[in-house]
């Protein structure tokens, strides 16, 4: 044992934090990873022997938080607004013109930064020590995720200068290499893969166990600060101050004296985006002088001093080999294009969603067609066009099926709805998807119940619904292929542990249409137990926060089926948590929602959601939906293939937005 353990602990803490700063902020390490690990091991050994000497900024405390089932809500002192998006140089010129006119100047200086594709986060430091980390949430309030934020190695636990009380905002993101590693691990474990780094970042910040969050490789880049102390008068110099305090900032940021410099910067960054270690989807342009920023003020959702110039979606051409039709857990049939592999935006694409029947008919797809691919938001590959030149006369058109590809039941399509469904409650494909959803991490989090095990359970008819999972025994599981006794016991242990998941997670796990984690939590808080929820009619359901007619009808219809009665009886017998531990709370007004009191019409093919899902979002944000456009319509959301409703909206002068803007409105009013 060293002569003075407390002194050695203090010295090691300071030394390791300095190495973290040099590695993560300056990108100029002065020590090997092996040497760093040796110092950290020594520190942990000393701290274990002398816990009273552990410092609050010890690197060993980055993964010390206890698992949680709740993230307290925190109000932002200054709203976390979203940026207005632009898609062309003309949009930027209009922005510059508005800024100059408002300030009464001929020109202004800007700072251009990369628009990192991540999740916004607010860090609060008290006397230079990290005290709290809060997500953006709805812009007015967010979730306290301090324990998970402490695991991000680019977030300093203590600033490099003493005595600072300040708020820092920035972007949390996942480098591409870490994203690829994470998905490889999930694939090997039989778990569903994440769609993109941004989604996995958002999910990582909400993990209940900080030890899991620590393994995700998240990074943080700061871009804003607020404090009562005197700070520089320009945004550029404030970025420099953030760096001096030990916080990483975008190393590619540049000070641009005029608009020509901004455009040159944007062109360079768009050309080199694939060489970066992380995803970006554009450039953020900010007025440099803070006094000018303050004079420009804000709109209801965006600051007037900043603009995001989104990069053009990248395209590729390839051959359509086939179209498969997948069955989701609610019976929705989704066509998927099988493509000759082609490189696009840093990944190899061999499949792309075709959304629904309307989109196939709009594209008039034939087998063997040459198709144009694009990544929506640089995330989701989609077919945007078909090149008909050279198509053989005998080419076979793609026809949407009339029977379920899994169970051969006749498919149904609701009037004025985009989704086509299999309504057979015993459809094996739906059962597989329901089991996978039930076992997923956000639901019952059943270790060992991956797609391979689910496939065999359904094929061997060992389960007819998720309730039958709790009747499985070791003998039945060991008989499955590639599932030894140890793995079978792990699955049984996972099922036993899932009995303790809270009621809101049980509700979400049921897979009721439109009931995501937020809605499930709202229902659990409002009704308190399954019995009270079962007694509620649609009017009573709509009294719960964030529940509109579409969600209420979906919940009521689900519980009215005989299959639901049988399933709930099994879940009761299995001892699942069917009463809520959440305290009832009144819903906070969504003052940032632009849907409140507005009648919205959805038309065309949406990429991210079905129309029902989009309608549920609108209703949860205080709006309502209608099937046709009239003078009472307040807004039309138009996707590809929009026809007569879009024309009627233009005739009547009804505002029209596309899906990208719809998503921006939702993001401005709902938690990320």
Residue 110 has pLDDT above 90, yes or no: yes
Mean pLDDT of all residues in 490-495: 93
Give the pLDDT of residue 65: 54
Residue 268 has pLDDT above 50, yes or no: yes
**Among 38-52, 342-356, 393-407, 507-521, which range has the highest average pLDDT?**
393-407
Separation CA 463–CA 149 (nearest Å): 40
Q: % helix / strand / coil in the chain, to the nearest 5?
A: 40, 20, 40
Residue 378 has pLDDT above 60, yes or no: no
Best CA proximity match to 251, nearest among 225, 291, 231, 280: 280
Best CA proximity match to 571, nearest among 510, 490, 528, 515: 510
Q: How many CB atoms lie within 10 A of CB 387?
A: 11
Residue 587 has pLDDT above 70, yes or no: no
Tokens 């995001």, residue?
Answer: 308
Global pTM value: 0.56
Q: Which of 309-313, 316-320, 331-335 has the lowest mean pLDDT?
A: 309-313
Pull the structure tokens for residue 247: 């916080």
φ/ψ of residue 249, rounded to 5: -125, 170
Q: Which domains does the chain have, with CATH numbers?
A: 5-63 (1.10.287.610), 74-310 (3.30.470.30), 315-421 (2.40.50.140), 599-669 (3.40.50.10190)
Stretch (H or E) spanning 530: helix 530-535
**pLDDT tens column, 331-363:** 999 999 999 999 886 678 899 888 888 888 889
648 is an active site residue: no
Are 116 and 46 spatial neighbours (Cβ–Cβ below 8 Å)? Answer: no
> Distance between alpha carbon 658 and the CA centroid of its chain, in Å?
20
Separation CA 155–CA 146 (nearest Å): 11
Are 359 and 369 spatial neighbours (Cβ–Cβ below 8 Å)? Answer: no
Residues of the chain above pLDDT 90, percent:
46
Are 483 and 477 spatial neighbours (Cβ–Cβ below 8 Å)? Answer: yes
Q: Which of 115, 286, 375, 382 is catalytic?
A: 115
Residue 64 has pLDDT above 60, yes or no: no
Pair type for strands 110-116 and 254-256? antiparallel
Backbone dihedral region for residue 137 (phi beyond 0: left; psi -120 to 50: alpha; all else: beta): left
Are 327 and 430 spatial neighbours (Cβ–Cβ below 8 Å)? Answer: yes
> Distance between alpha carbon 183 and the CA centroid of its chain, in Å?
16
**pLDDT tens column, 27-59:** 678 888 778 878 888 888 888 888 888 887 888
Residues of the chain above pLDDT 70, percent:
91
Distances 654 to 98, 371, 622, 657, 663 between C-alpha atoms, Å? 25, 34, 19, 10, 19
């Amino acid at each position: 044992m060293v002569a003075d353990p407390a002194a050695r602990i203090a010295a090691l803490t300071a030394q390791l934090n300095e190495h973290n700063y040099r590695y993560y902020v300056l990108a100029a390490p002065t020590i090997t990873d092996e040497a760093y690990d040796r110092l950290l091991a020594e520190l942990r050994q000393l701290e274990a022997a002398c816990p009273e000497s552990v410092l609050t900024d010890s690197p060993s405390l980055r993964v010390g938080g206890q698992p949680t089932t709740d993230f307290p809500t925190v109000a932002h002192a200054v709203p976390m607004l979203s940026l207005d998006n632009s898609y062309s140089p003309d949009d930027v010129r209009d922005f510059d013109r508005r800024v100059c006119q408002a300030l009464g100047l001929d020109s202004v200086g800007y700072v251009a930064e990369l628009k990192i594709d991540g999740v916004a986060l607010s860090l609060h430091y008290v006397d230079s020590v990290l005290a709290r980390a809060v997500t953006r949430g709805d812009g007015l309030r967010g979730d306290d995720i301090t324990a998970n934020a402490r695991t991000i190695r680019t977030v300093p636990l203590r600033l490099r200068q003493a005595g600072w009380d300040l708020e820092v905002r920035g972007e949390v993101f996942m480098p591409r290499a870490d994203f690829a590693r994470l998905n490889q691990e999930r694939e090997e474990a039989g778990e569903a893969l994440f769609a993109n780094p941004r989604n996995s970042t958002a999910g990582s910040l909400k993990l209940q166990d900080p030890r899991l969050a620590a393994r995700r490789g998240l990074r943080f880049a700061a871009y804003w600060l607020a404090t009562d102390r005197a700070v520089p008068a320009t945004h550029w110099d404030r970025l420099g101050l953030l760096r001096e305090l030990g916080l990483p900032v975008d190393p590619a940021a540049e000070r641009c004296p005029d608009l020509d410099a901004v455009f040159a910067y944007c062109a360079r960054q768009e050309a080199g985006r694939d060489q970066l270690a992380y995803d970006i989807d554009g450039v953020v342009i900010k007025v440099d002088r803070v006094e000018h920023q303050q004079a420009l003020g804000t709109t209801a959702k965006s600051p007037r001093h900043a603009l995001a110039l989104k990069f053009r979606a990248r395209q590729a051409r390839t051959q359509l080999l086939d179209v498969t039709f997948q069955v989701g857990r609610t019976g929705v049939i989704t066509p998927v294009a099988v493509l000759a592999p082609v490189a696009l935006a840093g990944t190899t694409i061999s499949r792309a969603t075709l959304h629904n029947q309307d989109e196939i008919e709009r594209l008039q797809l034939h087998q063997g067609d040459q198709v144009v691919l694009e990544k929506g938001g640089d995330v989701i590959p989609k077919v945007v066009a078909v090149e008909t030149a050279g198509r053989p006369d005998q080419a076979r058109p793609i026809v949407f099926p009339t029977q379920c590809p899994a169970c051969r039941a006749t498919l149904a399509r609701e009037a004025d709805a985009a989704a086509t469904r299999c309504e057979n409650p015993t459809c094996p494909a739906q059962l597989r998807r329901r089991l996978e959803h039930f076992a997923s991490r956000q639901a019952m989090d059943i270790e060992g119940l991956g797609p391979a095990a689910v496939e065999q359970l359904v094929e061997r008819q060992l389960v007819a619904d998720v309730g039958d999972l709790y009747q499985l025994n070791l003998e039945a599981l060991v008989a499955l292929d590639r599932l030894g006794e140890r793995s079978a016991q792990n699955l049984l242990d996972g099922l036993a542990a899932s009995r303790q998941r809270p009621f809101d997670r049980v509700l979400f796990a049921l897979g009721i249409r439109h009931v995501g984690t937020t809605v499930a939590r709202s229902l659990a808080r409002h009704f308190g137990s399954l019995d009270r929820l079962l007694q509620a009619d649609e009017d009573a359901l709509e009294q719960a926060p964030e529940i509109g007619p579409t969600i209420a009808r979906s919940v009521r219809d689900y519980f009215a089926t005989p299959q639901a009665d049988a399933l709930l009886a099994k879940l009761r017998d299995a001892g699942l948590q069917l009463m809520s531990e959440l305290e009832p709370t009144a819903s906070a007004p969504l003052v940032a929602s632009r849907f409140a009191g507005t009648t919205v019409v959805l038309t065309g093919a949406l990429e991210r959601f079905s129309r029902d899902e989009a309608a549920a979002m609108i209703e949860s944000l205080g709006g309502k939906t209608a099937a046709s456009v009239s003078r009472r319509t307040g807004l039309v959301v138009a996707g590809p293939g929009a026809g007569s409703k879009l024309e009627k909206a233009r005739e009547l002068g009804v505002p029209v937005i596309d899906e990208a803007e719809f998503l921006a409105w939702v993001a401005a009013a709902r938690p990320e």
